[in-house]
Homo-oligomer: A and B are copies of this chain.
Amino acid sequence: MLKKERQAYILHQVNLHNKVLLTDLCEHIKVSDDTIRRDLQELAEEGKLIKVHGGALSPSFHKTDHSSEPVYSYTQKRIIAQKAVSLIKNGMFVLSGGGTTIIEMARTLPPQLKATFVSCSLPAVQEYANHPNSEVIIIGDKVSKNSKFSVGSEAIAKIKQIKSDICFLGINSIDINHGVSDNDWDVVQVKKAMIESTRKLVCLTIAEKINSLQPIQVCDINDIDILITELPPDDPCLQPYVQAGIHVL
């Protein structure tokens, strides 16, 4: 990776997340911490970012007040995103839902990854499309306005033609007895199709939503292969899911 290219990537990440950790960048770009440090220093001298102990901040961030967090539970979602990204390998065919957690995952993808992402979510697809080396396919149909998500029989039919290696769904409710549930009928139909079309199902959620319930069931607990939250896998509130045979990350 060229130096300028690397610096452009760092800048992109800073503008996206408002902050970057030096260790994260080392991990993603696969270079020594000294190199990243020097990059941050150069970019800071150009005023493109603000260098702080352990990483850097976006120059716009230091002005704005901390009160208005851009995304609800942003910190938790970043942790979830990082765990999720570690499951994606080169050459994989990935089905993906929508939501802020998924978008955070898309932003966290390592730049050299070469995978194919398929999604019905317009914001998620826009985010995947910024990735330099991966391919993106959008499933078309009528667009559900609140969720910016394609829904309908055409979309479901297209998804059924697919068999993906892995499927990531951001979920709004999960309960040990009632499984995953949601409140938008059309979207649930599409999610169900996705679950049928994948070899491995990964559910992402902040711990707050664990043991909550909504009107429409998406899938059973047994359908989940991997569950990712911001908590460590040995957290007590996750143990029922571990015992149900789910791999908790």
Residues of chain A having any CB pair with chain B under 8 Å = 2-5, 8, 15, 18-19, 21, 50, 52-55, 57, 61, 65, 122-123, 125-126, 128-130, 132, 135-143, 145, 148, 150, 155, 158
Beta-carbon contact of A143 and B148 below 8 Å:
no
Given the known interface contacts A52-B4, A55-B2, the answer about A18 and B143 at a Cβ–Cβ threshold of 8 Å is no
Q: Is the interface of A mostly helix, strand, loop or mixed?
A: mixed
Beta-carbon contact of B143 and A137 below 8 Å:
yes
Beta-carbon contact of B140 and A145 below 8 Å:
no
Beta-carbon contact of A4 and B57 below 8 Å:
yes
CA distance A125 to B121 in the complex (A): 11
13 contacts between A and B (CB under 8 A): A2-B21, A4-B57, A4-B61, A122-B125, A123-B126, A126-B148, A129-B148, A137-B142, A138-B138, A139-B140, A140-B141, A140-B150, A140-B155
CA distance A52 to B52 in the complex (A): 27
- Number of copies of this chain in the oligomer? 2
Beta-carbon contact of A158 and B140 below 8 Å:
yes
> Chain B contacts of A130 at CB under 8 A?
145
Beta-carbon contact of B140 and A129 below 8 Å:
no
| CB of A149 to closest CB in B, whole Å | 10
CA distance A28 to B148 in the complex (A): 25
> Chain B contacts of A140 at CB under 8 A?
137-141, 150, 155, 158
Given the known interface contacts A141-B138, A143-B136, the answer about A57 and B5 at a Cβ–Cβ threshold of 8 Å is yes
Query: Who on chain B is nearest to A12 by CB?
Result: B65
Beta-carbon contact of B142 and A135 below 8 Å:
yes
Beta-carbon contact of A2 and B15 below 8 Å:
no
